[in-house]
Chains A and B, each alone.
Chain A
Amino acid sequence: MTLDPRKKQELEAKIQSYVGVESVVGTASDLVNEPMIRHWCEAMGDDNPAYLDPNRAKDSVHRGIVAPPPMLEAWVMPGIRPEWTLSVEELEAQGRTIHKQAELMNVLTEYGYSGVVGTDIEHGFERYLKPGDQVSATLRIEDVSEEKATALGIGYFVTVKRSFRDQNGDEVGWNRFRILKFWPAEQPAAASNDAAPSANPTRLQPPRGHDNVWWWDAVDAGKLLIQKCDSCNTLRHPPRPMCGECQSLDWSGVEASGKGTVYSFTVLHHPKFPGFDYPFAAALIELEEGTRIVSNVLGCDPADVYIGMPVQVSVEQVDEATKLPIFRPVK
């Protein structure tokens, strides 16, 4: 499940238009006050007397109770029904308006990126807040990333900076919060699951061990190797530790010319697994050196692949995590 390219283009134009946009978040409903400070400290397990004990706080450098700095955003939080859970009509009925970040979140949700997770936050503080201060906040959408592949699913990172000011208009602090708004990845599909995802980003990684790591390391370096027995010169693939012809344990890897022909192939349709765009061709390639290798034929319609088709290797990064020797038709 993913967007078709046209819808994706439309979405990306919309969300990129939010970059640089500023918006009023609002003014705190309550002045900074001791009961809310106490609740916050209880919830967070913070027993600093500067926040809780008027007598001891009086003798501190603050000369009285102050609010914990990390509580800054709490003063302007919208309550248990944040604006992005409400329709525009509901918000207007409550005399609230939707700020631009919430609007951007709604756009992403509409297009299927319904998951949300905070990824990291930075804070900056100018001064401690004291009971009686009134906090107001504005925000600026600093960045909307390109589509990223993550373990949770594909999505966009949205970076928002909030600035907090007091009743005099002086800045008291800021934070920069990054959110991933994602298309929830689905579980690997059972064979009959037609709604299998192709959105999950990377292919299954080849396990590497003693007997094959050298071959995959060469692929990482852009080469297709064939194992050659140092004793009888027989080529073999897939690699094995001993030569089946002469039982020698000595071997080396020689670079293949990369020229070959399709010996057999299958066009895969179902079940659909993450990391692959179906339908696609998996093929058994006979290299001109004589060994065969399973790979993919890319660069043509899978329906145009045929037995005997001349192909040439190309070591390519097929997704963020996967570099493979794949084959393309010889023009």
Chain B
Amino acid sequence: MANSIADQTAIVGIGQTEFSKNSGRSELQLAAEAVKAAIDDAGLQPSDIDGMTTFSLDTNDEIEVARCVGIGDLKFFSRIPHGGGAAIGVMHQAAMAVATGTAETVVVYRAFNERSGRRYSVGIAEGIVTPDLIHWSWYLPFGLLTPASWVAMFTQRYMHEYGCKGSDLAEVAVSTRKHAINNPNAFFYGKELTVEDHQNSRFIAEPLRLFDCCQESDGGTACIVTTVERAKDLQHKPAVIRSAAQAAGADQENMTSFYRPSISHLPEMDLVAKQNYEMSGLGPDDIDAGIIYDAFTPIVLFQLESFGFCKRGEAKDFVKDGNLEVGGRLPCNTNGGQLSEAYIHGMNGVNEGVRLIRGTSLNQPAKNDHVLVTGGVGVPTSGMILGQAS
């Protein structure tokens, strides 16, 4: 592939604030703290940063964060839309900027008071916050107002077609909780969850129950992307970006792609998978661990199928027998994920992906050559494969 970004760049620093229900400080402060922590972790100076990227939804202007942290001249800045779908879209931006020489060292950040401030769980119920007014007119008056409700519509159909049960979704929640038990940064540190607990929890939007939904959170995270050459001189083992890609599928809507011939799989995530495997030359059998975007349990099942870890409709079986836990076929969301660590729009998962490559996860699998990290589901999305330096 001509001009591929494969293996050109690496994540060399990660930083984050604590995750909480009420940070007690501004989103800008969270962003500045996370960015500073990532620069420190990389062993760099703020003046080394010459590019920045974040989510369109982030309220922290790049130049404001730069002024806080003492980052000087910037040659690259960009934003990616579509909520959590941007999680790896921003990594893709950083990798493209660095691989092309547009910038040398890019900081990727995401910080919000998503629990104590504006909560995404209320969806569009506080009125229209996006310019795509017309799109929401088809859902607003019918009460389909929240992310849970949109995901529930896909999930019901998926479960109907493949005979998946609520107890299968529970397996995903239980696996993340097993990882969170060991993670002091996780909301569910030390707190066990059983399939029965999950099945006894109240419905939010049927078939989704309380424990099918992630933890709304305050917090900030950041990471630093630079060239693989420069990474060699830095203090941590680099997490090489083997591949990264974005995708929107045909007939895509923002969270409500209900009009495709089939709504029980994710064409956009299929395309993210195809691009990543082509770019990296890897396949599902090469992936040792996953950070699979888990704002809701069923979307983990959809993605396992998109990335070919099992056949379509068989994720309900794949998630059993501890396959998502350390020692299983694909240890997933070893930080506890967004279901049990915190919901930082997928970016806490990026940092965990880097820890898995470094070998420093609190739930470290023995084999860590390649780690898949994915972005949000139901929207135009993204994904990447991290690997070891050659």
Contact = CB atoms under 8 A, between A and B. Distances in A.
Interface stretch (B38-46, B151-159, B307-315, B367-375): B151-159
Interface-centre pick from A206, A266, A269 (highest chain B CB count, 10 A): A266
Contacts of B256: 294
Contacts of B127: 204
Contacts of A265: 153, 156
A58 interface: no
Given A191-B122, A295-B142, A266 B135 contact: no
A238 B138 contact: yes
Contact of A282 (B121, B128, B149, B216): B149
Interface stretch (B202-210, B272-280, B282-290): B202-210
Contact of B143 (A211, A238, A268, A284): A268
Nearest to B140: A204
Given A273-B125, A282-B153, A207 B137 contact: yes
Given A188-B125, A269-B203, A271-B146, A292 B140 contact: no
B77 interface: no
Nearest to B259: A292
A212 interface: yes
B59 to A, nearest CB: 18
Contacts of A273: 125, 143, 145
A293 B138 CA distance: 8
A257 B121 CA distance: 36
Interface in B108-160: 119, 121-122, 124-128, 133-146, 149, 152-154, 156-157, 160
Given A188-B122, A282-B149, A294-B258, A264 B144 contact: no
A279 B144 CA distance: 12
A206 B141 contact: yes
A206 B137 contact: yes
Nearest to B260: A292
A296 B140 CA distance: 11
> How extensive is the interface on chain B, given as a class?
35 or more
A268 B140 contact: no
A270 B145 contact: no
B126 to A, nearest CB: 6
B258 A284 contact: yes
Contact of A267 (B134, B137, B205): B205
A322 to B, nearest CB: 6
Contact of B203 (A208, A216, A267): A267
A244 B250 CA distance: 10
Contacts of A208: 137
B258 A206 contact: no
Contact of B126 (A188, A203, A244, A291): A188
A266 B152 contact: yes
A192 to B, nearest CB: 8
Contacts of A177: none
A52 B126 CA distance: 53
A209 B143 contact: no
Contacts of B216: 191
A289 to B, nearest CB: 13
A269 B205 contact: yes
A292 B263 CA distance: 12
Interface-centre pick from A275, A284, A296, A324 (highest chain B CB count, 10 A): A284
A237 interface: yes
Contacts of A216: 137
A84 interface: no
Contacts of B134: 207, 209, 211-212, 238
5 contacts: A209-B134, A270-B205, A273-B125, A291-B259, A295-B142
